Structure 1
């Protein structure tokens, strides 16, 4: 029988099942700024949910509810890591400057998975580049997929990552 002749239940009309946002199996390390960002995401999801409920927007309710579940879970598992005051080794919550073979210098801050933003130079501690650099000191070298690098400077990250 054609779907055109089958009446959907009113409460199911037009609703799509949204998959849950995947939760990483890695420890949920966050910087203090990252914890603030999670709290902001929770508040934003709550506001979106309230607005969607007020508008009887079932798709909006589903999206906001899914996001609220995700961020609430991430908040519950967050392990805040304070930036080291004077880092001697590449670690979580450090800003590392590397010099590439071609002489270019690049600066990255190593942060939690939800904080990562490559355009801002924020890389998750779980990505291959960060894993290759973790534990190195100034002057140490590493081989990355994009070539050879030398660690030339280490600093604690600031309040914004």
Structure 2
């Protein structure tokens, strides 16, 4: 049937779902075990939310279900491509995926600690940076005592590795 014969009120709103964290095409979707666990909990919560929707309007309910289903689809795509990295098998004296790194940044006296994690796990406020981030890239394969230079438009920033752990 032609769209010209459909009433405007019958047309469903297409839910606008925010994309997940960016993972460039062709890049392996590495995750820690705790990152994968968090993705699976997120999936469970979305399914429960969908099952417990308390919306009386049928149209609003369909829109809410479509929105949750779209989020579940994005999440399923991410979990199906996830490759869990066993951080206990990483070289303990080098910065690799999953490493918890203590850094001296420039001339600052206070040390900073970051963990290199998957894109869905990254949260700078929790000290977690994505393995595809510029900082993670320049630190990968470095050892305690090594320095790495991050070139920024305004300035260059020097990072010195003080400690590496995998806990």
Q: TM-score, normalised by structure 2?
A: 0.80
The answer to whether structure 1 residue 63 and structure 2 residue 61 are counterparts is no
Match of 1:147 among 157, 160, 165: 157
Give 3-state SS (helix, strand or coil) of 2:88's partner.
coil
Question: Which secondary structure state, in structure 2, belongs to the residue aligned with residue 104 of structure 1?
Answer: coil
Hey, what's the Cα distance between the residues in 2 that align with 1:54 and 1:81? 41
Does residue 46 of the first structure (1) align with residue 52 of the second (2)?
A: no
Cα distance in structure 2, aligned partners of 1:54 and 1:69: 22
**Structure 2: gaps (5+ residues):** 1-5
Higher mean C-alpha deviation, range 99-108 or range 118-127: 99-108
Unaligned runs of 5+ in 1: 1-5
Deviations 1:50-71 (A, max 9, x none): 2348754233212211110011
Comparing 141-150 and 30-39, the one that deviates more: 141-150
Moved over 6 A (4+): none
TM-score normalised by length of structure 1: 0.83
Of the candidates 121, 126, 129, which is equivalent to residue 135 of structure 2? Answer: 129
Task: Tell me the alpha carbon deviations over residues 92-132 of structure 1, each in whole angstroms, 9 at most, x when there is no partner.
Answer: 01100111222231100000000001100000000101001
